[in-house]
Structure 1
Amino acid sequence: MKTLIALCFLACAARAGLKWETTEVRLEVHPAQASASAVFRFSNAGKEAVTIGDVKVGCGCLAPQLAKRTYGPGEEGELTIRFDLGNRSGPQSKTTTVRTSDGQSVDLVVSGNLPKAYDVLPAMMRIGGTEKTKTARLVNPNPIPIRLLSATSSHKELSAELKTIREGFEYEVLITRKPAASNARAVIRIELEPPPGKSDAKILKLYAHAP
């Protein structure tokens, strides 16, 4: 009986596989931040090499990164999952499923409550034939200032001008319909100042239509 127990123990140890420090990472991000990375650390607790095979993300906004696929007994590693935040806000929970050569599977979760950088009102504007200009108001709901740098229109007949009302907290975007505009549609891209220590930031968007 003792021999059988010992054999079972050895068999379990041999197929112990990857041991993860945590299966959920909660992100804390700046409102203007464009992306964030969650790092999941692990070690091979078994007595045989383990290969990470399928890494299936539950959202196109996730991008997994591994230094290598196979880890020997006792070897440590980490899986980094980059989360493209886009203009998402509010509670978020994104899952990545990892399957290994020993038949094991684990769900890794990236979560967090993402703050909104700016409220944009309205986000869609229709500029009729007798109208020349319409205004969108942008308000920062956070206690920290976030500067807006520029507003750029995708259509030459619908120009965009950024106007500062209160630096870092309140702005207006003036969309002007030019005489030649006919059934013109434009995406207005509003560039934010990158957060401290970051090289990029979110891009806000609003939409204009001149029938």
Structure 2
Amino acid sequence: MTKLAGCIFAAAVLVPGLASAQMIFATELVEIRAAPDAEVVEAEFPFKVGALGATIAEYDAPCSCLEAQISDGGRLAWDPGTSGTVKGVFKLGTFKGTVDKVIVLRMEGETVPSVKLTVRVEIPELVSVEPKTLFWNLGEPAVPQAFKLRMNGEKPLKIVDVSGTNEQFPFEMKTVKEGSEYELVVTPKSTEGRAFGLIRLRTDSEFVRHQRYQCFVVIRNKPAEAP
């Protein structure tokens, strides 16, 4: 059974631009705050049909993570005065933070879609890693730098495993506050050559999608100075 987000907020605002399509939507934006354990969330866009009726020629959600559904079994032709719903089913996967995905509808007689519906999902990050990438410039001192790890959930979380893909970047995990705040200190062995590495973190979260995080380390050419 899929786990749905607990809170859905939709501003019921009439969208004048959609009236010409004869499908008048109560809102073109649905905002959802996903629960920490959510794997799937659903957003509904109710509509009413104008006096001329409406026929949907084509509908799509360009991202494979979002499935678009039309009520009444996917009915495309709608009589005047009837009402229905466009639903978006969003698989959260590995997304984190605030994510916007769209559903588009092209009506009969149109060459381009006239209806654009946005699903905005706020996906909690139980672990924040800042910055996402540490950089060193070629030939400059191989000084230590640190990732700041902060646990944002209601329950404490521990880092139970850390692994790296490149031995050029040895690291040390430091506990600032157990279950709440950590520092991952990285000191490259040398900056004489370009290099890239990935550091993987594993937590003891009860939620599978919040158990694995990653950050990056890079030795690069010194960026050109702005003129």
TM-score range, shorter chain: 0.5 to 0.7
Per the TM alignment, residue 124 of structure 1 is displaced from its structure 2 partner at its CA by 0.8
Structure number with bigger Rg: 1
After superposition, what is the alpha-carbon deviation per residue over 1:32-68, rounded to whole angstroms, capped at 9, x for unaligned? Answer: 67976342255785897844514265xx696334376
Structure 1, 18-27 or 128-137: larger mean CA deviation = 128-137
Alignment pair present for 1:118 and 2:125: no
Q: Residue 173 of structure 1: which of 162, 184, 187 is its match?
A: 184
Counterpart amino acid of residue 66 in structure 1: Q
Q: Provide the residue aligned with 2:216 in structure 1.
A: 207
Identity of aligned residues (%): 15
Q: Residue 101 of structure 1: which of 95, 108, 113 is its match?
A: 108
Aligned-residue CA RMSD (Å)? 4.8
Q: Trace 1:30-109 onto structure 2 (pairs within 5 A).
A: 37-42=41-46, 50-51=55-56, 53-55=58-60, 57=62, 63-66=66-69, 69-71=74-76, 78-82=86-90, 86-88=95-97, 94-101=101-108, 105-109=114-118
After superposition, what is the alpha-carbon deviation per residue over 1:160-206, rounded to whole angstroms, capped at 9, x for unaligned? Answer: 55444434311122435468x9532112233455565xx42385443
Contact 2:97 2:122 in 1 (8 A): no
Higher relative CO (CA 8 A, sep ≥ 6), structure 1 or 2?
Answer: 1
**In structure 1, C-alpha distance between the alignment counterparts of 2:21 and 2:136, rounded to whole Å:** 61
TM-score, length basis structure 2: 0.53
Q: Trace 1:174-193 onto structure 2 (pairs within 5 A).
A: 174-175=185-186, 177=188, 182-192=193-203
- How many aligned residue pairs are there? 189
Unaligned runs of 5+ in 1: 1-14
